[in-house]
Amino acid sequence: MKIAHIDFSGTFNEDMTYQENMIAKYNVADGHQVLVIATCYLWDNEGKIVKIREESKVSADGYSLVRLEYRHLFNEFISRKIRDIDRGKLIGILDAFSPEIVILHCFQTRAIKYITSYCGQHRIKFVVDTHSNFYNSARGILSKYLLHRFLYRRWLLRAYDFIDRIYYIGYEEKEFMNKVYRIQDDKMRYLPLGGVVLPNHSLKSIREKVRRALAITGDEVVFVVAGKFDQNKRLGDVISSFVSANVEARLLIVGSIDTTEMEGIDRWLSASEKILYLGFRTGDELNSILCSGDVYIQAFNISAIAQNAICAGCALILKDTTTYRSLIDTNGFLVNNTDQLVNAIRCCMNVANLDAMKARSLELAREQYDYKVIARKIIS
């Protein structure tokens, strides 16, 4: 099958473990011809968004990658909200590839009108997904009412009859679609984010290698917190909860930290040898660190890294949200505040319970969250 993935929502990195590139990777592994059309924005090695030139290449994972610039509309800020693409270039690329299915990741782009027209004319299956929720979108009046309820919703409704399926990556995204876009459930289906599930011997080998590099002994319990840290992620509260728990364990912090947040974190890093900040890492590096860990913490916000962690066999301490409730099945804890987080950290120090939770995470990962499974489902 010839599959075209289109993502004009923001950044696209080949070496990260985001849904868009991971599904494309496993589509190729299943023997399909795959094209990815993305923007010219990506994350650099310091966790900052940078813009590169348009390009056309074959990725290391075997899919064709074409990057297109946004059309310039007044300024870069507006251009990155409207997310319009040169129609002629886009249609020319699709014509040359002749896809049998088009998957539009995050439909909030003016280019949805061109894609809809193309799929309708050629009778091509058209699938979209949505990653928008009340944590990451519509946080201001202009964003909620001008962009989402008026502009993006208008574009979606015009395309609606031509869309075969709308996938939401979590139940918060479904609620967002219901309330903000007023889209009902008839075309919507749940398609979770996922991760890479390695064989047990590979997990063990990576765990030992990373722990040696970080001078962590084999029997130490390791907690991991990761992401792009701003004030909403409340990294300071995670660190202070870990310190308050007073456990013989390590806390690894992985990701980029806002300058304002870093000012409050430095004192914790200098005061405790148990806490180690590893900085921004690539997707593969992050997965290796998760494999070396025992418990992943995402206590005050939501992130796709939770699914990566379950696939690495980590027990979980997650914010009590609708989507995260579906990830917890005797493999971790749901928390609403720092007191609950402190208690959950202490509970994870029971070795027998921790081993059972980690084993259960791997069972759930192989059943539901392996990108090999998800990549087949989205094209079915």
The CATH number of the domain where 174 resides is what? Answer: 3.40.50.2000
DSSP string of 245-274, one letter each residue: HT-SEEEEEEEEE-HHHHHHHHHHHHH-TT
Query: Is residue 225, in this structure, part of any structural domain at all?
Result: yes
Show Cβ contacts of residue 6 under 8 Å, excluding neighbours closer than 6 positions.
Answer: 36, 37, 38, 102, 103, 104, 105, 111, 115
Query: Is residue 324, in this structure, part of any structural domain at all?
Result: yes
- 302 and 332 within one domain: yes
Domain boundary among 167, 191, 215: 191
Q: How many CA atoms lie within 13 A of 128 on its CB side?
A: 27
Q: DSSP E strands: which ranges in 275-357?
A: 275-279, 295-298, 315-319, 332-335
Q: Could you report the per-residue pLDDT of 88-112, keeping only the tens digit for each? A: 999 999 999 999 999 999 999 999 9
- The dihedral through the CA atoms of 372, 374, 375, 380 has a sign that is positive
Per run of 10 residues, the mean pLDDT along the chain (length 380 residues) is 96 90 97 98 88 97 98 95 98 98 98 98 97 92 95 97 96 95 93 94 97 95 94 90 96 88 75 90 93 97 92 97 94 98 98 97 96 95
| Contact in structure between 45 and 71 (CB atoms under 8 Å) | no
Which residue segment(s) compose the domain that 186 sits in?
Answer: 2-191
Query: Is residue 375, in this structure, part of any structural domain at all?
Result: no
- 134 and 56 within one domain: yes
Which among 212, 215, 160 has a CA at the least distance from the CA of 188?
160
- 222 and 175 within one domain: no
- 247 and 169 within one domain: no
3-state secondary structure of 88: helix
Phi, psi of 284, deg, nearest 5:
-65, -40
Q: What is the pTM of this model?
A: 0.88
- Exposure pattern of 361-375 as b/e (b: 16+ CB <10 Å)? bbebbeebbbbbbbb
| Contact in structure between 84 and 110 (CB atoms under 8 Å) | yes
For position 233, what pLDDT does the model report? 85
- 341 and 219 within one domain: yes
Which among 132, 57, 118 has a CA at the least distance from the CA of 88?
118
- 207 and 173 within one domain: no
| Contact in structure between 87 and 95 (CB atoms under 8 Å) | no
- Exposure pattern of 322-358 as b/e (b: 16+ CB <10 Å)? ebbeebbeebbbbbeebebbbebbebbeeeeebeebb
- 55 and 123 within one domain: yes
Following CA atoms 367, 369, 371, 376 in sequence, which dihedral angle do they give, to the nearest 10 degrees? Answer: 60
For position 237, what pLDDT does the model report? 94
Query: Is residue 349, in this structure, part of any structural domain at all?
Result: yes
How many domains, the chain?
Answer: 2
For position 283, what pLDDT does the model report? 86
For position 40, what pLDDT does the model report? 97
- 153 and 32 within one domain: yes
Cα–Cα distance between 305 and 38 in angstroms, integer? Answer: 22
Cα–Cα distance between 171 and 375 in angstroms, integer? Answer: 19
Query: Is residue 214, in this structure, part of any structural domain at all?
Result: yes
Cα–Cα distance between 154 and 160 in angstroms, integer? Answer: 10
Per-residue tokens: 287: 């997965």
- 159 and 289 within one domain: no
H/E segment holding residue 80: helix 76-82
Phi, psi of 226, deg, nearest 5:
-145, 160
- 250 and 176 within one domain: no
- The amino acid occupying position 278 is L
In this structure, the strands spanning 101-105 and 2-7 are: parallel
For position 46, what pLDDT does the model report? 79
Query: Is residue 376, in this structure, part of any structural domain at all?
Result: no
Count CB neighbours of 207 within 10 A: 22
Domain boundary among 138, 157, 191: 191
Query: Is residue 378, in this structure, part of any structural domain at all?
Result: no
